[in-house]
Structure 1
Amino acid sequence: MSEETVLTVSNATDCNVSMQADQKAKLPESDLSDAPTPRKQREVYDGVGAKANTRSPVHCNIILLLVAINNTIVWTAIGLMMPFFGREALNKVPSASFANHFAIGLIISIATLVEFLAAPIFAKDIVNVGSKLMLVMSTFEISAMIFLFSFVGKIESWSIFLAMCLSIRLVQGISTAANFVSSFSLLVGAFPESNGLVNGVLRCANGVGYAIGPALGGVLYDVGGFALPFYVVSGVLGINLVLLVMFLPSIETELSSVKLKSNISYCRLLSIPWVWMVLISIFIGVLIMGFTEPVLAVYLKHAFNLPTLYAGIAYAIQSVTFSGATLPIGYWVDRSLNPRLMQAVGLFICGIGCQLVGPAPFLPLPKSVAFTYLAMVLFGMGWGFTAVSSVPDILRTLDAHGLGSPGEMRAAAAGLFQAAASLGYGVGPMLGSTVTAAVGFEYGTSMLGAVYLLWTVLFSIAAASSDKLLIVQLENLVKGHS
């Protein structure tokens, strides 16, 4: 080996050592204290194979466009029934008992709870099924279930109504989980170097769809009754299904090299205390999004005698605020602000919104639609802060403990986020129905707000005690304002 070659290898090694030292210096001390010694020959694998780069930019853009449109329509379907289903279900219950209110919340939340359980299973089986086939089949099943749901409004018997609703929503939840996994896998295969773009597009598509769904559902319900919203969205999904079959390129050869099965031990991962802190924050952060679903339309009707459209507008405001907040928040997290600080800010904002939506009985404020809409803005913004900053926080923690390659850590972080968010969104409607039935809307949201504010304090104390970098950033922030 020549002297020049030896010097080049030596310089590259020194550069790598220096970069690793700089990265560790940026991490919180607590995350490094019990981190295992990195393996001498850690596998460098970014989650995708080389073949994923062989597809032309035109095909990649077609995949991006079709998957984004599909996700928008699917999330429109998810939010479609929010403004009117609670009222329709209450008209069918034989008595306003605790069990019946719980059942109404379960109908709304069961789809998300099933998604929480089914998503990891589909992630393991996607190589055998194929991502394009899984996306097409899941879209067909969602469209079919939405169409079937249009007929449940004609059922008079409460027991049959409940059984049909739960069965349809159960299948819809399984199909939605498959749709999410296949969409993510397709975009990872098409854009292996742009995971930020992939996540940004999917989040924006979800937010736009979730904003359209309640507003569209409220308008169509007022125009044509219970069945019309489901007819329309089912038909649109059917048209989208044809486009997927005709124009979505098959990238199974690329995805055959995608490493979907992570070697990260989830037992080892969940043994890290701070991972649990972030997961609880995600769970609590998304809780309010489902809490108001079965009860907000009823509250607006009883308090202000407003039609269903106003509840749809409220949910649209919440979703639009979330979609608009995610990109700048992500920019701030990537550039300078500590993700733990951002999570605390998001939880605090949600807590304030819970006190205003009623408003809380102890506040000297009159009931007002303006306060309700302001609270929905705060809910969307608060969840945006928490959702965007939680995944970078998990990634930083996993990297500090040397758990897996970058691709494996991104997959693990995304899986943990999806699990915690799905569980929170699934519990929310059941909690909203039962708590509101017990103590009323104003007291129920006020109690949930107290939980937000209490967890904000606990989370902030834990973050400050374990993350010295956060203290330095806060001190610099205060000095800058002074």
Structure 2
Amino acid sequence: MASIGSSLIRNSYITICHFPPFFAKIAKDRGATVSIYGFTIGTKCLTLFLVTPFIGKNLKVIGVRFAFVSGVFIGGICRLLSGFLEYFPPGGSFVVISILIRVIHAAGSAGTITSTFTYTAVEFPNSVAKIFSLTRTMMNIAQFAGPIVGGALYEVGGFKTPFILVGGIQTIMAFIALPFLTDYDVSQYDEGSTKTQSPLDILCIPSIWIPFFTFIVSTMSNGFLSINVEPQVLL
């Protein structure tokens, strides 16, 4: 199960790396301003921020396996659809469809991310830190390889090629993973818990804002590069 999960996460993050650099150029070619396609790219993170707590709170109803597999499947389909954005004419329809794809993709990613943490905690209760670091390693490898693979595919077949090919692989992998993943009754792990903390309680801890602030600044810097540097590279 761990190897399947790592493979899916790696493929998922390879596809995530394709959208910002290639979309920025095609959006610019269709007359979209930097603020508009920057907002379009950012809607994924905004949706994750809003949807992830809801999925985490209702994971016992949604189901761990369903959240994971459906998230991977939705991500693959949205990546496939992204490959056809070049066929939309300039104007509002292009922007609206782009935002919808990003929002739906983010909702699926929220299920994948949340269920991944659950699988890690349940399958490896004594090695959570090691498995989490391994998962992050796979993500970083994917984020490194994504632009390289995507760039090579872009040169071969144009804008749609990296999205259709890698998105198709991700969609197929969701069906392959389905029979191998266990579905857990997460409610049993809440038994005996006498103390619960809301997100607001956690945010009231002063020391937690140090890593939060660092993460926010570094992520914003990465976002600035995506919308400003990459369109110039692809000119």
Contact 1:188/1:198 (CA < 8 Å) preserved in 2? no
Q: Following the alignment from structure 1 to structure 2, what is the Cα–Cα distance between the partners of residues 149 and 116?
A: 22
For residue 20 of structure 2, what is the aligned residue in structure 1?
Answer: 82
Alignment partner of 1:181 is 2:114: yes
Change (3 A) 1:73 1:279: same
Q: Following the alignment from structure 2 to structure 1, what is the Cα–Cα distance between the partners of residues 120 and 111?
A: 14
Rg (Cα) greater in structure: 1
Q: Could you say what secondary structure the match of 1:246 adopts?
A: helix
Give the one of 183, 190, 193 matched to 1:259.
190
For residue 111 of structure 1, what is the aligned residue in structure 2?
Answer: 44
Contact 2:77/2:168 (CA < 8 Å) preserved in 1? no
RCO comparison, higher one (Cα < 8 Å, 6+): 2
Give the one of 273, 281, 292 matched to 2:206.
273
For residue 144 of structure 1, what is the aligned residue in structure 2?
Answer: 77
Which runs of no fewer than 5 residues in structure 1 stay unpaired?
A: 1-62, 95-99, 303-482
Paired-residue identity, %: 22
Q: Alpha-carbon deviation of 1:195?
A: 1.0
Change (3 A) 1:299 1:158: same
For residue 171 of structure 1, what is the aligned residue in structure 2?
Answer: 104
For residue 129 of structure 1, what is the aligned residue in structure 2?
Answer: 62
Q: For residue 208 of structure 1, what is the amino acid of its counterpart?
A: I
For residue 218 of structure 2, what is the aligned residue in structure 1?
Answer: 285
Q: Following the alignment from structure 2 to structure 1, what is the Cα–Cα distance between the partners of residues 57 and 234?
A: 45
For residue 365 of structure 1, what is the aligned residue in structure 2?
Answer: none
Q: Alpha-carbon deviation of 1:118?
A: 1.0
Contact 1:186/1:251 (CA < 8 Å) preserved in 2? no
Q: Following the alignment from structure 1 to structure 2, what is the Cα–Cα distance between the partners of residues 274 and 238?
A: 40
Q: Could you say what secondary structure the match of 2:58 adopts?
A: helix
Q: Following the alignment from structure 1 to structure 2, what is the Cα–Cα distance between the partners of residues 68 and 266?
A: 28
Q: Following the alignment from structure 1 to structure 2, what is the Cα–Cα distance between the partners of residues 251 and 265?
A: 26
Contact 2:6/2:135 (CA < 8 Å) preserved in 1? yes
Q: Alpha-carbon deviation of 1:159?
A: 1.3
Q: For residue 4 of structure 2, what is the amino acid of its counterpart?
A: L
Q: Following the alignment from structure 2 to structure 1, what is the Cα–Cα distance between the partners of residues 202 and 67?
A: 29
Q: Following the alignment from structure 1 to structure 2, what is the Cα–Cα distance between the partners of residues 169 and 268?
A: 30
Q: Could you say what secondary structure the match of 1:257 adopts?
A: helix
Q: State the Cα deviation string for residues 11-48 of structure 1 (Å, max 9, x = none).
A: xxxxxxxxxxxxxxxxxxxxxxxxxxxxxxxxxxxxxx
Change (3 A) 1:271 1:175: same
Please, what TM-score do these two structures have when normalized by structure 2?
A: 0.91
Q: Alpha-carbon deviation of 1:214?
A: 1.4
Contact 2:203/2:209 (CA < 8 Å) preserved in 1? yes
Q: Following the alignment from structure 1 to structure 2, what is the Cα–Cα distance between the partners of residues 157 and 265?
A: 44
Q: How does 1:292-331 map to 2 (within 5 A)?
A: 292-300=225-233
Q: Alpha-carbon deviation of 1:251?
A: 4.0
For residue 314 of structure 1, what is the aligned residue in structure 2?
Answer: none
Deviates more, 1:265-274 or 1:121-130: 265-274
Q: Following the alignment from structure 1 to structure 2, what is the Cα–Cα distance between the partners of residues 268 and 83?
A: 37
Q: Could you say what secondary structure the match of 1:83 adopts?
A: helix
Contact 1:80/1:229 (CA < 8 Å) preserved in 2? yes
Instruction: Report the number of matched residues.
Output: 233
Alignment partner of 1:68 is 2:19: no
For residue 145 of structure 2, what is the aligned residue in structure 1?
Answer: 212
Q: State the Cα deviation string for residues 261-286 of structure 1 (Å, max 9, x = none).
A: 97024444333333333321221122
For residue 157 of structure 1, what is the aligned residue in structure 2?
Answer: 90
Q: Following the alignment from structure 1 to structure 2, what is the Cα–Cα distance between the partners of residues 115 and 130?
A: 18
Alignment partner of 1:239 is 2:177: no
Q: Following the alignment from structure 2 to structure 1, what is the Cα–Cα distance between the partners of residues 201 and 167?
A: 43
Which runs of no fewer than 5 residues in structure 2 stay unpaired?
A: none
Q: Following the alignment from structure 1 to structure 2, what is the Cα–Cα distance between the partners of residues 210 and 133?
A: 25
Q: For residue 264 of structure 1, what is the amino acid of its counterpart?
A: Q
Q: For residue 15 of structure 2, what is the amino acid of its counterpart?
A: A
Q: Alpha-carbon deviation of 1:301?
A: 5.1
Q: For residue 257 of structure 1, what is the amino acid of its counterpart?
A: Q
Q: Following the alignment from structure 2 to structure 1, what is the Cα–Cα distance between the partners of residues 57 and 131?
A: 20
Please, what TM-score do these two structures have when normalized by structure 1?
A: 0.46
Q: Following the alignment from structure 2 to structure 1, what is the Cα–Cα distance between the partners of residues 142 and 127?
A: 23
Q: Could you say what secondary structure the match of 1:263 adopts?
A: coil
Change (3 A) 1:259 1:209: farther
Q: For residue 258 of structure 1, what is the amino acid of its counterpart?
A: Y
Q: For residue 73 of structure 1, what is the amino acid of its counterpart?
A: N
Q: Alpha-carbon deviation of 1:245?
A: 1.4
Q: For residue 45 of structure 2, what is the amino acid of its counterpart?
A: T
Q: Following the alignment from structure 1 to structure 2, what is the Cα–Cα distance between the partners of residues 191 and 241?
A: 22
